[in-house]
Amino acid sequence: MEKRILGKSGLEVSALGLGCMGLSFGYGPATEKQDAIKLIRAAFERGVTFFDTAEAYGPFINEALLGEALEPFRDQVVIATKFGFKDGKPPLGADSRPERIREVADAALKRLRTDRIDLFYQHRVDPNVPIEDVAGTVKDLISEGKVKHFGLSEAGAGSIRKAHGVQPVAALQSEYSLWWREPEQEILPVLEELGIGFVPFSPLGKGFLTGAINENTTFDKSDFRNTVPRFSEENRKANQALVDVIEQIAADKNATPAQIALAWLLSQKPWIVPIPGTTKLHRLEENAGAADIQLSAQDLNEISDGLSQIEIQGHRYSEQAQKMVNR
């Protein structure tokens, strides 16, 4: 798989990473441990060198899983994890106090079975802690050798600029896909100006852009999509028009809708690295194949023209979760 560099940081990663959250958290029952390890190692065998986790995924169990899976080839991969929630639990709210950041770093190093965190993100901006203090704490961790690069997630433009002034931000991780394009308005120009890489999470619209979900789909009771307005039955039915456009392009390119959605992201900027997640080997292989698809200017225009006539229905987060983004 081709490599990309996240902005001006010099951090080189595979063009597609692997988002590991769903193996332990968020999308129904956790994957059986040995199956999850097998999937993570299969990703590495297919050229993926960029793996994303967080203390909040579980909490804690996803980091431990990743640490065990990647231990045999630790020096050949880039591991990203995150701090920023009280006790690692998002419902308890944000906590990016300097002492907490240090606690999370030390605990994560043990769980990940490593001596450094390649990319350490603030999971969400904490309104009670100046972003300059957060950046300064990570800067200290970098000088101590515990962390290599600093990242932000779902931060607004003002926070990005303030943090970057204290410690260069290597990457911003926020949602971006064919059905959530808000970052194009303000965030992408700021990242380009400052030389910051972009790591889109949910690049497949939490599964919707694969075409495998429709108005009749039911989710496990522990699947967080049950709380997402965009995934109401009514909105799934309305948003099917977007999938129809992608499926048409996919048929012309002898590809799958998921591959077109990922290839579209890769074509936007050379410093964009999506991190699709999956629990299935065949989906992993499908996603990896997206890195080999070249979309022509005509393809991109067709996608753009098709999307311009569709208004996506439903908010991407519950009201409570929405309060924690774009700070």
pLDDT tens for 166-187 read: 999 999 999 999 999 999 999 9
Q: If you compute the radius of gyration of the chain from its CA atoms, what whole number of angstroms results?
A: 19
In the numeric block, the tokens 């439903």 are attached to 314
Q: How confident is the model at residue 323 (pLDDT cuts 50, 70, 90)?
A: confident
- Report whether pLDDT(321) > 90: no
> In the predicted model, is pLDDT for residue 245 greater than 90?
yes
User: Within 13 Å of residue 186, how many CA atoms lie on the same side as its CB?
Assistant: 10
Residues 27, 57, 121, 176: which is the catalytic one?
A: 57
The alpha-helical segments, DSSP class H, found in the chain are: 33-45, 61-70, 98-111, 131-143, 157-166, 187-194, 233-253, 257-268, 281-289, 297-308, 319-322
pLDDT (0 to 100) of residue 326: 77
Dig out the tokens for 116 from the structure.
Answer: 């450094």
Does residue 23 carry a pLDDT above 90? yes
CATH number of 3-322: 3.20.20.100
Q: What confidence score (pLDDT) does residue 319 get?
A: 82
For residues 26-31, give the mean pLDDT.
94
Mean pLDDT of 245-253: 95
Considering the chain, what is the average pLDDT of its residues? 97
For 104-132, write each residue's pLDDT tens digit.
999 999 999 999 999 999 999 999 999 99
The answer, yes or no, to whether residue 213 has pLDDT greater than 90, is yes
Q: What is the pLDDT of residues 42-78, one digit of tens each?
A: 999 999 999 999 999 999 999 999 999 999 999 999 9
CB atoms within 10 A of CB 74: 14
CB proximity list for 314: less than 8 A, separation 6 or greater: 228, 229, 230, 231, 232, 235, 238, 239
Question: Per-residue pLDDT tens for 143-163?
Answer: 999 999 999 999 999 999 999
CB of 67 within 8 A of CB of 113? Answer: yes
**Domain layout of the chain by residue ranges:** 3-322
Q: Catalytic residue at 317?
A: no
> Can you spell out the DSSP letters for 291-303?
GG----HHHHHHH
Q: What are phi and psi of 115, to 5 degrees?
A: -105, 0
How many other CB atoms are found less than 10 A from the CB of residue 185? 9
Q: Which of 69-78, 119-128, 195-204, 302-311 is least confident?
A: 302-311
DSSP β-ladder status, 12-14 and 197-201? unpaired
